[in-house]
Amino acid sequence: MSNDIFKTLSSISEDIKFFNISNTEELEKFRIQYLGSKNVINALFGEIKNVENNRKKEFGQVLNALKEEAESKFETEKEKIEDNQGAGKSLDIDLTAPVFYDSVGSRHPVSIIMNKIIKIFEKIGFTVAEEREIETDWYNFTAMNTPEDHPARDMQDTFYLKDSHTDLLRTHTSSVQARIMTTQKPPIRIIAPGRVYRNETISSRSHCQFHQVEGLYIDKNVSFSDMKQTLLYFAREMYGLETEIRLRPSYFPFTEPSAEMDVYWGLKNEDDYRITKGTGWLEILGCGMVDPNVLSNCGIDPEEYTGFAFGMGIERQAMLQYKITDIRQLFENDIRFLKQFSGAL
């Protein structure tokens, strides 16, 4: 018999614990049920006569504990509700006061130009590939047909990371070409934007870190004229639909034949003479047909596939576009400089 009564007590204890109180009405309901003059706990005190003598004391103790449980829950819930109401009441907001906007960030000019270039190539089916800035000698040079004793290694003053010269900071995004060609099967059509490093004296015109966008297209029957048309499309999207380009023969170890592409900038004013060294033409990028050695170094059969690649610097294009005369401004993060680009995408 008394076992049943003890069971009832423990279920009341559960009920108290899980009684949901989130407003004054619920608080009042709780008070009436567990603390009011006709509350369930008091009613149970009358049952003591039905409990065996040796458990009467225990029964009393449990009932008192229940009472305390109910009282303490009532107090804490009451305080919570009062606190909430208090917070609401004392909320002192002047809804007519003028708003002070937090200052909004802006994109870095290098990012703006990079995104513009990416968008232009995405439109014709290139996808973005990003790779590591810390490279091994193999991906940066050897795979790109630039073996150890090759004079072209002197053209790019490399930051090596170990005495053994096996790890380095990539000197160009062409390392991404090798990364992609060794892991993907043609057709390959990627652009690789990113930061590169060269150990150069920092001046208004050159820096030891800058950004490039690399392009690589490999498939069956890719020709030099495919490259020329792709680059003409790029130049016109970037510099205006009337823009003319010219390709000058050049040399890169990883392309054959190689070229440099100029866009016609014009000679309208004194600045144009200075920027184009009096020619009206501006050099924008290096390009060429992927050297068969590069393809076979990376496990692609040069008998079956051909491709073209190009690489361009971003800083110079940003400087031209925004008439920035000192490249160092692009790396100083001076907020007064950066603020001028807010609103640009």
Q: Which x/- pattern over 32-61 shows residues binding ligand PHE (rule: CB under 6 A)?
A: ------------------------------
Q: Under the criterion CB under 6 A, does residue 307 sit at the interface with ligand PHE?
A: no
- Spatial distance between the Cα atoms of 312 and 151, rounded to a whole number of angstroms: 22
- Beta-carbon count within 10 A of 197 CB: 20
Task: Single out the residue of 172, 189, 211, 316 in contact with ligand PHE (rule: CB under 6 A).
Answer: 172
CA distance linking residue 146 with residue 151, whole number of Å: 8
Binding test (CB under 6 A) with ligand PHE, winner from 129, 235, 245, 287: 287
Amino acid at 137: D
- 252 is a site residue for ligand PHE (CB under 6 A): yes
- 192 sits near ligand PHE (criterion: CB under 6 A): no
**Per-residue mark of binding to ligand PHE, 73-112 (x: CB under 6 A):** ----------------------------------------
**Buried b vs exposed e over 226-237: b needs ≥16 C-beta within 10 Å?**
bbbebbbebbbb
**Which of 112/309 has CB closer to ligand PHE?**
309
Instruction: Decide: is 139 part of the binding site for ligand PHE (CB under 6 A).
Output: no
Q: Applying CB under 6 A, does 174 fall inside the site for ligand PHE?
A: yes
Closest chain position to ligand PHE (CB): 311
Of 175 and 276, nearer to ligand PHE (C-beta) is: 175
* DSSP assigned state of 283: E
Query: What Rg, from alpha-carbon coordinates, does the chain have?
Result: 38
Total of chain residues touching ligand PHE, rule CB under 6 A? 11
Burial class of residue 159, CB neighbours in 10 A (0-12, 13-18, 19+): middle
By the rule CB under 6 A, 255 interacts with ligand PHE: yes
Interacting residue with ligand PHE among 109, 193, 253, 286 (CB under 6 A) = 286
* Whether the bond into 187 is cis, omega within 30 of 0: yes
- Which residues are within 8 A (CB) of 143 and not within 5 positions of it... i.e. 6 or more apart? 178, 182, 294, 297, 298
Per CB under 6 A, residues contacting ligand PHE are 172, 174, 214, 252, 255, 286-288, 309-311
